[in-house]
Amino acid sequence: MRRHELLPEPPETRVPLIISWPDRFKAGVNADGLVELTDLAPTLCDIAGIDPGWTHGQSLLPILTGNADPDHHHDYVRCEFYDVLDMNVNTGRPSPPPSYGTMYRTDRHKFCVYHGNPYGEIYDLRVDPDKHDNLWEDAGSQSLKSDLLKASFDDSITIHDPGSTRIGRF
């Protein structure tokens, strides 16, 4: 499984976003930074002057008004997929049990874990933007795999609402 991507680029990771508000937003901004759909709510709240409360999304307003770098918004994005692998699709053979996948993407790497399965995907998007060379089993990429796995795992905890503030010892 070294020479191909198991799944096509998930559509939720490449959603075009067009926002226009003449005289308020800078015209002609073409942003290539990593954004998430969760950034829309804080953006709308920011425009309306409303505190969005706790959210892991970040307002796009600084980019829209020309006050921030349009090519950097998040250091990474993370997506979870349910029932993602069907290796036997269109073969007539029984499909494996449903699987769960997590994609962690930075500006440099795309990292996919298929939970409960021994395989995954790592691509260096600067060297291999079309994702033909899967580095998952590459001996020289095992440290990178470990680093990306830890970063994705760390994010799986910090992405959730932390709940009430602790006011005393447990």
What is the SS3 assignment for the chain?
CCCCCCCCCCHHHCCCCCCCCCCCCCCCCCCCCECCHHHHHHHHHHHHCCCCCCCCCCCCHHHHCCCCCCCCCECEEEEEEECCCCCCCCCCCCCCCCCEEEEEEECCEEEEEEECCCCEEEEECCCCCCCCCCCCCCHHHHHHHHHHHHHHHHHHHHCCCCCCCCCCCC
- Residues 78-137: pLDDT tens digits? 888 777 666 555 666 766 666 788 999 999 999 999 888 888 999 999 999 999 999 999
Domains of the chain: 14-74 (no CATH), 76-158 (3.30.1120)
Q: What is the pLDDT of residue 2?
A: 44
- Residues 10-50: pLDDT tens digits? 544 566 778 888 888 888 888 888 888 889 999 999 999 99
Give 120's contacts (C-beta < 8 A, 6+ positions apart): 111, 112, 113, 114, 136, 145
